């Protein structure tokens, strides 16, 4: 997903929902202005589906993937074991010198996007007035290119490097790590250093859906609608998603059969961006899960995760440029962010198999500190908390089910729900959302996302992957339409070819 | 009368309906402990996980097997995947030339075969592995006409002693294990380079100094079974007719001392003797690490 | 009643016995004989390097050659199994065991023919270990070690098959087990000749099998006690 998302993140758009909104706004502007399409954001597919591994081991995609890019338990174990089968034949010394562990992945498609209340210029206004308009776009398109390289450097030393581009060809590093596997001869200790996806059992990098609305898990990126309101110029960007690849050190372990798994990570509080743009603090992420067999139904897994993070609310030093604004974050010296405030993302996950049906259910409980949630520096010199500000607290749920009648076909259905349980700003019913002052209701910013799709793989081989992809996704947000504060709906329809080689 | 007829009729229909179910249930089953594998489910699993190497017909001619040995991406399949149509299996608890037990095949799936491309499928459920065994058994006519061999008797293992190791060492020489496995068990005996498997593909004898796993397991019990049953389809013969059980355990104890990179009671005992300490020290000579993890 | 049956039985026995005496007195039916030859240049047989097995090497003043193609004068081809592949009924195995001996790191005979379910004895006359590895495809494949002084390996095969035999320890040792359904078989000698005697009248398929050149078949009909001549010519390849 990365190239799309991170491009937007760099531009300061933190919230996934707002990213979608922005994407469509930008699209509108470009279409209206007929300018260069260079900045057009398009959903990407930085996901792992690695024919390089299939080629190395001669196994079909379906061995490791229930339906690529989604892993099977065997594939998960292969990954947890450091991309090794464990038969003393994993080291590169056993490969033909000509073998190059590289896989490309790309998607070409037609898509249709609709937003029911987009912010548009009022054609009848002579004073630059704005109204909301129903906006639909459609046409042919393509994703960015993912350039997966990964494998082993030696027995029990693995690596993964993923340069990933947006669809203009601008690359960034989505994943960069090396890992010491089976340290001291035990599968219970593996050490990874670099930028990597968090040990999420439901991997966003292996998501089966591709549209603008459902190309990421909403719950993995949700930030309350009151955040990053841009009111205080001293407040640096606060952006976080457990779906984002993070920079850090991970220790993980698993039983030989991968039924029991744990991981503990220490991560830079920079949400995966390079060059320490704000923080010199660290976050922690912890997971544990256990799978068990239930007769002929399959493998059932339950687990829990907790991300404990902190983020700076202003810069200790700015670069001395006299901007006339105290502590202006635009000139903050990278890595000197202080006034750290806490946030957390915790949850439970269950993955249940009933033969060819499977269901993943997740529960999320999250909170952002009131300073983060209202965009206020934790320093009276730079700003004061809005009256009545509280920590933002919300709950989320995710239900994703699959029907996989054969390795060649999968039907996907997903429902995601986000419900605020405590708003950062006081609730003033009847008054539209006023940034930094009040919200109209407890439900302001709540979101529902529904997705339905299918993927058909006309062939399965150990050399390349190809899928026909069809998907429809719909999201519904409470009270976030840009002008009138009504409910905001997005829908996205996509048909295409997804291929890796 | 009418009622009777109806009852008979219903019984007849019931028998007709149930009979095929019973028949299909009997064909294509595997039994491992309390598990009963189903070949139908196993077939679906086979065509997800196995066919890439073992082929659509189960004859070991998957899309990655090139008999020329000319692999575009390296010798990842330098041992031909098992041919389930021939139904010749390396890892058995049954005499050479006989079919393995269901449990033997089941254990091979869970364990994987070291130094080959066959991984461990321990991540699948036990039920799924049993299902795969049931399907594998439908791929060869042999399973219809033959029964699995009788499991060989493995007597209780006596405790290793220096004497048993020394006797095992004599047997290693006398039985000419070294012709293939090399005088130090490094897989470099005089015949090693000439060995071919039953498909005329080159095959290497096991290098005891390199690893801690054997082809068919890790325990002393597994090692005993390997040379008493032979690895069918490979040059490794059965010694069942020529080694007495007590001698076999002595050989097991000696073979353990050849695994110098793995700690074992046998190795500790052997290193405690002057003779053994010198041999083991010479065995442990190392060069520059290759990162392969196995000194082949 | 009883007495009458006894008489009938006695009569029957007399008839059967006299009939069998008659047949054994005269040759039973005809025979097929002939000669196996090759055309072209057969592969040159190379001397075997037994230096890795001194106990065998010292038994030879000049090293023996390989035996993939053994020829005699006038293009005669040796070691060809000639047998009735169709037309003759399957026969029960004879009581006598077929013996296959390992001596001087060679197989004696190089080609051993025997019947389905006939006992096979494998002997090791050498002072070294061999492993006997018949690469059966239809029958079950086994592989057994036989150190010096071991008792014979006793086995039998229950299906007809041409089985290559090898010793993995001594890679030059190759032989063939020809497991056949009936007793009408012969192995061509140094002059390439063979005879299949005692064939009752009937229509037969005669097949000749050579380990390097595969098999050929011919139809032959025998009436009375005639002797038919059937010859086979294999195309030899120089490699």
Render each residue's pLDDT in chain A as its tens digit; 501 residues.
333 333 333 333 334 444 444 444 443 333 333 333 333 333 334 445 567 888 788 888 999 999 989 999 999 999 999 999 988 888 888 877 777 888 999 999 999 999 999 999 998 888 888 999 999 999 999 999 999 999 999 999 999 999 999 989 999 999 999 999 999 999 999 999 999 999 999 999 999 999 999 999 999 999 999 998 889 999 998 999 999 999 999 999 999 999 999 999 999 999 999 999 998 999 999 999 999 998 888 899 999 999 999 999 999 999 887 778 888 998 999 999 999 999 999 999 999 999 899 999 999 999 999 999 999 999 999 999 999 999 999 999 999 999 999 999 999 999 999 999 999 999 999 899 999 999 999 999 999 999 999 999 999 988 899 999 999 999 999 999 999 999 999 999 999 999 998
CB contact under 8 A, B74 and A57: no
CB contact under 8 A, A63 and B52: yes
Element (H, E) at B9: helix B2-26
CB contact under 8 A, A94 and B124: no
Element (H, E) at A80: helix A73-80
Shared domain check, B205 and B115: no
Q: Quick check: do A and C touch, 3+ CB pairs under 8 A? A: no
CB contact under 8 A, C168 and B237: yes
C-contacting residues of B 225-264, CB under 8 Å?
230, 232-242
DSSP letters for A381-438: TT--PPTT---EEEEEEEEEEEEEEETTEEEEEEEEEEEEEE-SS-B-TTS--BTTTB
Encoded tokens for B7: 């009852």
CA dihedral A214, A215, A221, A226 (to 10 degrees): -60
From the number of C-beta atoms within 10 Å of its C-beta (0-12, 13-18, 19+), residue C13 rates as exposed
C-alpha distance from residue A303 to each of A205, A291, A349, A395, B157 (Å): 19, 9, 5, 17, 43
Q: How many domains does chain B have?
A: 2
Of A59, A74, A93, the CB nearest to B291: A93
Cα(B218)–Cα(C46) distance, integer angstroms: 43
By C-alpha distance, the chain B residue nearest A51 is: B73
Tell me the domain boundaries of chain C.
Answer: 29-236
Query: B115 contacts in A (CB within 8 Å)?
Result: 87-89
Among the ranges given (B60-74, B130-144, C23-37), the one the predictor scored with the smallest mean pLDDT: B60-74
Q: Residue B25 falls within a domain, yes or no? A: no
If we measure between CA atoms, which residue out of C5, C7, C69 comes closest to residue C210?
C69
From the number of C-beta atoms within 10 Å of its C-beta (0-12, 13-18, 19+), residue C29 rates as middle
Residue with tokens 């219809």: B144
CA distance B76 to chain A (A): 6
* Residue C79 near residue C208 (C-beta atoms within 8 A): no
Which pLDDT does position A101 carry in this prediction?
A: 87
Shared domain check, B279 and B195: yes
Cα(A247)–Cα(A251) distance, integer angstroms: 13
Q: Residue B157 falls within a domain, yes or no? A: no
Q: Is the pLDDT higher at C6 or at A211?
A: A211
pLDDT tops 80 at residue B91: yes
Q: Residue B118 falls within a domain, yes or no? A: yes
Shared domain check, B52 and B138: yes
Cα(B115)–Cα(A86) distance, integer angstroms: 9
Of B179, B180, B235, the CB nearest to C133: B235
- The residue out of B145, B176, B204 marking a domain boundary is B145
Residue with tokens 């859906």: A209
Q: Residue B154 falls within a domain, yes or no? A: no
Provide the CATH topology of domain C29-236.
Answer: Immunoglobulin-like (2.60.40)
Shared domain check, B118 and B85: yes
DSSP letters for C41-94: -PPPPPBP--TT-HHHHTT-SSPPBP-SS-EETTTEE-S-EEEEEESSPP-PPP
Q: What is the CATH number of the domain that holds B194?
A: 1.10.760.10
Interface test with B, best of C138, C152, C168 (most B CBs within 10 A): C168
CA distance C187 to chain B (A): 26
Cα(C157)–Cα(C141) distance, integer angstroms: 10
Domains with residue ranges and CATH for chain A? 2-500 (2.40.160.10)
Shared domain check, B82 and B40: yes
Helix/strand/coil percentages in chain A, nearest 5: 15, 45, 45
CA B8, B11, B15, B16 dihedral sign is positive
- With H, G, I as helix, E, B as strand and everything else as coil, classify residue B282: helix
Residue with tokens 């206004």: A125
Which pLDDT does position B78 carry in this prediction?
A: 64
CB pairs under 8 A between B and C: 80
Query: B64 contacts in A (CB within 8 Å)?
Result: 58-59, 462
CA distance A414 to chain B (A): 25
Q: Residue B6 falls within a domain, yes or no? A: no
* Residue A109 near residue A142 (C-beta atoms within 8 A): yes
Among the ranges given (A92-96, B49-53, C195-199), the one the predictor scored with the smallest mean pLDDT: A92-96
Cα(B38)–Cα(B133) distance, integer angstroms: 8
* Residue B293 near residue A156 (C-beta atoms within 8 A): yes
* Residue A175 near residue A160 (C-beta atoms within 8 A): yes
Q: Label residue B201 by pLDDT band (50, 70, 90).
A: confident
Of B73, B122, B127, the CB nearest to A95: B73
Range of the domain at B233: 162-283
The pTM is what? 0.85
Q: Label residue B294 by pLDDT band (50, 70, 90).
A: low
B-contacting residues of C 121-150, CB under 8 Å?
128-129, 131-133, 135, 137, 140-147, 150
Own/partner pairs, B137-143, CB within 8 angstroms, 24+ separation: B137/B28, B137/B30, B137/B39, B137/B102, B137/B105, B138/B27, B138/B28, B138/B39, B138/B43, B139/B57, B139/B58, B139/B84, B139/B85, B139/B87, B140/B58, B140/B84, B140/B85, B140/B86, B140/B87, B142/B87, B142/B99, B142/C140, B143/B87, B143/B99
Of B175, B196, B234, the CB nearest to C129: B175
Q: Which ipTM value was assigned to this complex?
A: 0.85
Which pLDDT does position C16 carry in this prediction?
A: 47
* Residue B106 near residue B130 (C-beta atoms within 8 A): yes
A33-62: b (≥16 Cβ within 10 Å) or e: eeeeeeebbbbbbbbbbbbbbbbbbbbbbb
Residue B174 near chain C (CB below 8 Å):
yes
- The residue out of B115, B145, B175 marking a domain boundary is B145
Residue B146 near chain C (CB below 8 Å):
yes
Q: Residue B19 falls within a domain, yes or no? A: no
Of B179, B237, B240, the CB nearest to C133: B237
Q: Residue B24 falls within a domain, yes or no? A: no
Which pLDDT does position B10 carry in this prediction?
A: 53
Shared domain check, B69 and B173: no
If we measure between CA atoms, which residue out of A49, A70, A104 comes closest to residue A203?
A70
Interface of A with B (CB under 8 A): 54-60, 62-63, 72-74, 76-78, 85-89, 91-96, 98-99, 153-157, 256-258, 293, 295-296, 298-299, 406-407, 461-462
DSSP state of B238: B
C-alpha distance from residue A103 to each of A50, A52, A163, A170, C154 (Å): 6, 6, 11, 18, 56
DSSP state of A59: -
CA distance A55 to chain B (A): 7
Shared domain check, B273 and B172: yes
Helix axes B245-258 and B162-174, enclosed angle (nearest 10):
90
C-alpha distance from residue C66 to each of B277, C40, C43, C69 (Å): 45, 19, 10, 8
If we measure between CA atoms, which residue out of A198, A199, A185 comes closest to residue A156?
A185
Shared domain check, B101 and B50: yes
Encoded tokens for A414: 């997903």
Q: Residue B17 falls within a domain, yes or no? A: no
- With H, G, I as helix, E, B as strand and everything else as coil, classify residue C186: strand
CB contact under 8 A, A298 and B290: no
Shared domain check, B39 and B121: yes
- The residue out of B96, B115, B145 marking a domain boundary is B145
* Residue A202 near residue A360 (C-beta atoms within 8 A): yes
Query: C143 contacts in B (CB within 8 Å)?
Result: 96-97, 230, 232, 234-238
């Amino acid at each position: 997903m990365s190239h799309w998302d991170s491009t937007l993140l760099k531009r300061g758009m933190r919230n996934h929902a707002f990213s979608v909104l922005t994407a469509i706004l930008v699209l509108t502007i470009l279409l209206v202005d007929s300018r260069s399409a260079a900045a057009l954001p398009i959903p990407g597919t930085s996901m792992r589906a690695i024919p390089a591994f299939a080629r190395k081991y001669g196994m079909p995609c379906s061995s490791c993937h229930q339906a690529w890019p989604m892993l099977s338990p065997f594939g998960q174990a292969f990954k947890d074991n450091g991309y090794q089968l464990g038969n003393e034949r994993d080291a590169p010394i056993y490969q033909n010198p000509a073998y190059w562990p590289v896989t490309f992945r790309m998607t070409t498609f037609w898509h249709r996007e609709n937003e029911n209340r987009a912010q548009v210029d009022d054609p009848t206004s002579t004073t630059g007035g704005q109204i909301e308009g129903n906006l639909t776009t459609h046409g042919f398109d393509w994703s960015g290119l993912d350039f997966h390289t990964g494998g082993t450097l030696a027995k029990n030393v693995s690596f993964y490097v993923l340069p990933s581009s947006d669809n203009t060809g601008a690359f960034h590093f989505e994943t960069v790590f090396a890992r010491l596997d089976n340290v001291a001869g035990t599968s219970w200790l593996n050490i990874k250093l670099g930028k990597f996806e968090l040990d999420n059992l439901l991997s966003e990098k292996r998501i089966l859906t591709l549209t603008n609305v459902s190309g990421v898990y909403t719950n993995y990126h949700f930030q309350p609608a009151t955040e990053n309101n841009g009111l205080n110029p001293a407040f640096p960007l606060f952006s976080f998603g457990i779906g984002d690849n993070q920079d850090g050190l991970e220790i993980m372990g698993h039983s030989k059969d991968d039924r029991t798994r744990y991981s503990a990570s220490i991560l830079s509080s920079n949400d995966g961006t390079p060059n320490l743009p704000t923080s010199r603090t660290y976050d922690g992420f912890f997971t544990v899960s256990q799978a068990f067999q239930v007769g002929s139904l399959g493998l059932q897994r339950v687990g829990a995760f907790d991300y404990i993070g902190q983020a700076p609310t202003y810069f200790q030093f700015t670069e001395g440029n006299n901007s006339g604004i105290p502590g202006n974050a635009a000139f903050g010296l990278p890595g000197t962010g202080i006034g750290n405030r806490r946030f957390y993302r915790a949850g439970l996950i269950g993955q249940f198999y009933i033969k060819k049906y499977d269901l993943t259910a997740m529960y999320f409980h999250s909170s952002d500190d009131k300073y983060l949630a209202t965009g206020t520096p934790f320093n009276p010199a730079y700003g004061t908390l809005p009256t009545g500000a509280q920590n933002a607290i919300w709950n989320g749920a995710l239900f994703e089910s699959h029907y996989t009648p054969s390795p060649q076909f999968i039907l996907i259905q997903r429902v995601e729900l986000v419900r605020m349980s405590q708003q950062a700003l006081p609730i003033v019913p009847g008054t539209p959302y006023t940034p930094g002052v009040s919200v109209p209701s407890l439900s302001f910013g709540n979101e529902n996302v529904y997705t339905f799709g299918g993927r058909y793989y006309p062939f399965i081989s150990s050399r390349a992957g190809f899928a026909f992809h069809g998907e429809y996704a719909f999201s519904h947000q409470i009270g976030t339409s840009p002008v009138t504060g009504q409910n905001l709906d997005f829908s996205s329809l996509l048909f295409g070819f997804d291929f890796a080689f | 009368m009418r009622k009777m007829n109806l009852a008979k009729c219903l019984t007849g229909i019931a028998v007709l309906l149930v009979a095929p179910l019973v028949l299909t249930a009997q064909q294509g089953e595997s039994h491992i402990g309390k598990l009963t594998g189903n070949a139908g489910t196993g077939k679906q699993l086979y065509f997800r996980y196995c066919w890439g190497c073992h082929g659509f017909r189960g004859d070991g001619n998957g899309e990655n097997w090139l008999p020329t040995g000319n692999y575009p991406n390296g010798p990842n399949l330098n041992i031909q995947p098992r041919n389930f149509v021939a139904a010749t299996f390396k890892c058995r608890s049954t005499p050479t030339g006989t079919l393995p037990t269901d449990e033997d095949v089941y254990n091979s799936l869970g364990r994987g075969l070291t130094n080959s491309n066959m991984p461990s499928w321990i991540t699948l459920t036990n039920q799924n592995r049993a299902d795969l065994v049931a399907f594998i058994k439908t791929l060869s006519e042999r399973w219809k006409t033959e029964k699995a061999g009788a499991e060989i008797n493995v007597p209780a293992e006596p405790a290793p002693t220096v004497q048993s190791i020394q006797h095992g060492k004599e047997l290693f020489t006398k039985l000419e294990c070294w012709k293939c496995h090399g005088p130090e068990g490094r897989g470099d005996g005089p015949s090693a380079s000439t060995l071919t498997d039953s498909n005329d593909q080159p095959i290497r004898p096991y290098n005891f100094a390199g690893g801690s796993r054997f082809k068919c397991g890790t325990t002393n019990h597994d090692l005993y079974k390997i040379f008493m049953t032979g690895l069918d389809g490979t040059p490794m013969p059965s010694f069942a007719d020529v080694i007495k059980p007590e001698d076999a355990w002595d050989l097991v104890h000696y073979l353990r001392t050849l695994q110098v990179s793995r700690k074992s009671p046998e190795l500790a005992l052997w290193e405690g003797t002057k003779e053994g300490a010198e041999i083991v020290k010479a065995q442990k000579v190392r060069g520059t690490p290759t990162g392969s993890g196995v000194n082949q | 009643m009883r007495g009458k049956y006894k008489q009938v039985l006695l009569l029957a026995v007399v008839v059967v016995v006299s009939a069998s005496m008659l047949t054994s007195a005269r040759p039973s039916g005809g025979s097929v004989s002939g000669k196996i030859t090759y055309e072209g240049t057969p592969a040159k047989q190379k001397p075997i390097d037994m230096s890795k097995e001194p106990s065998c090497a010292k038994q030879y003043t000049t090293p023996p050659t390989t035996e993939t193609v053994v020829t005699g004068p006038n293009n005669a081809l040796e070691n060809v199994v000639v047998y009735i592949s169709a037309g003759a009924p399957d026969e029960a195995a004879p009581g006598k065991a077929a013996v296959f001996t390992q001596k001087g790191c060679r197989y004696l005979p190089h080609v051993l023919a025997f019947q389905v379910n006939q006992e096979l004895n494998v002997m090791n006359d050498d002072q070294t270990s061999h492993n006997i590895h018949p690469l059966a495809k239809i029958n079950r494949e086994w592989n057994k070690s036989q150190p010096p002084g071991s008792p014979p390996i006793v086995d039998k095969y229950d299906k007809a098959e041409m089985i290559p035999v090898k010793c993995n320890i001594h890679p030059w040792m190759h032989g063939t087990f020809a497991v056949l359904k009936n007793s009408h078989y012969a192995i061509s000698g140094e002059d390439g000749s063979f005879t299949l005697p005692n064939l009752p009248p009937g229509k037969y398929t005669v097949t000749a099998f050579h380990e390097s050149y595969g098999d050929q078949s011919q139809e032959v009909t025998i009436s009375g006690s005639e002797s038919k001549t059937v010859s086979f010519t294999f195309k030899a390849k120089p490699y």
